[in-house]
């Protein structure tokens, strides 16, 4: 099973259009979006209202994708996408079986911008203990946050991943961990895949059977978290 994975699009409409084109051309089984989906449209009274308006348009766009969309939100998202479509499903706190794999999602990351989907480490640890278990060789964890020390560089050399998430994954190995959040950490380490678009036209195709991956649309230049 091959999935097209991206995160941190931050409402960039050309990036979403390219993702849908990639999904169609590469015949992937699903699209996985690992948070920070929305931006900040101008012309409305509040950022929340702007994102709510944008979310409605995004759901309509994603419903027309060539493959089902599995998503979580991220720390820069102020609202839940809240799709009612079976074609566009939230993974947060639940397990969705698809293509012989079990996708489990968790969308909170450590305090960063004071956002809706941020929690302190102790609360993240509690949340993770409540995820559907057991994990096995068919489980794919989709989180917004990286695990601490793995593909998680932030500003000033600080690591922005979650220690609780790393401990959880060490205790509960899974097939693959797909995440974003750290823009500069885009890439792969072992079975961890940082798919942060950072608003750029880049994404990954991941073959979940072989764990081989392909980077699509990579633009040159460094991107900061």
Please name the residues in contact with 28: beta carbons below 8 A apart, sequence gap of 6 or more: 2, 3, 4, 22, 66, 67, 205
The closest of 98, 92, 97, 85 to 56, measured between CA atoms, is: 85
- The reported pLDDT for the residue numbered 101 is 98
**Cα distances (angstroms) measured from residue 175 to each of 102, 135, 191:** 9, 8, 7
Burial class (CB in 10 A: 0-12, 13-18, 19+), 92: buried
Is the distance from CB of 164 to CB of 126 less than 8 angstroms? Answer: no
Burial class (CB in 10 A: 0-12, 13-18, 19+), 63: middle
- Is domain 2-216 classified as CATH 3.10.450.40? no
- Separation CA 181–CA 110 (nearest Å): 10
Residue with tokens 């992937």: 28
- The reported pLDDT for the residue numbered 157 is 81
- The reported pLDDT for the residue numbered 218 is 58
- Separation CA 41–CA 56 (nearest Å): 13
- The reported pLDDT for the residue numbered 112 is 85
- Separation CA 159–CA 101 (nearest Å): 30
- The reported pLDDT for the residue numbered 222 is 31
In this structure, the number of other CB atoms found within 10 A of the CB of residue 182 comes to: 27
- Separation CA 186–CA 68 (nearest Å): 23
H or E element at residue 149: none
Query: If the chain, 225 residues long, is cut into consecutive pieces of 10 residues, what is the mean pLDDT of each piece?
Result: 97 95 97 94 78 94 97 96 93 97 98 91 98 97 98 93 98 98 97 96 97 82 32
- The reported pLDDT for the residue numbered 45 is 76
The closest of 69, 117, 64 to 90, measured between CA atoms, is: 69
């Amino acid at each position: 099973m091959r999935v097209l994975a991206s995160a941190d699009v931050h409402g960039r409409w050309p990036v979403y259009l390219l993702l849908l084109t990639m999904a169609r051309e590469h015949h992937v089984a699903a699209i996985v979006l690992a948070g920070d989906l929305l931006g900040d449209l101008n012309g409305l009274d509040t950022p929340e209202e702007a994102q709510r308006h944008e979310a409605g348009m995004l759901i309509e766009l994603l419903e027309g994708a060539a493959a089902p969309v599995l998503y979580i939100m991220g720390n820069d998202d102020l609202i839940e996408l809240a799709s009612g479509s079976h074609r566009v499903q939230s993974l947060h706190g639940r397990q969705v079986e698809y293509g012989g794999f079990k996708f489990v999602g968790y969308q909170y990351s450590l305090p960063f911008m004071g956002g809706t989907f941020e929690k302190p480490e102790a609360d993240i640890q509690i949340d993770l203990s409540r995820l559907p278990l057991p994990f096995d060789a068919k489980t794919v964890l989709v989180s917004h946050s990286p695990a601490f020390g793995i593909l998680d560089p932030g500003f000033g050399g600080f690591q922005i991943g979650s220690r609780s998430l790393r401990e959880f994954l060490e205790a509960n190995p899974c097939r693959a961990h797909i995440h974003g959040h750290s823009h500069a950490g885009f890439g792969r380490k072992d079975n961890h895949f940082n798919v942060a678009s950072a608003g750029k036209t880049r994404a990954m195709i991941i073959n979940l059977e072989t764990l081989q991956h392909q980077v699509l649309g990579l633009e040159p230049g460094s991107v900061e978290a």
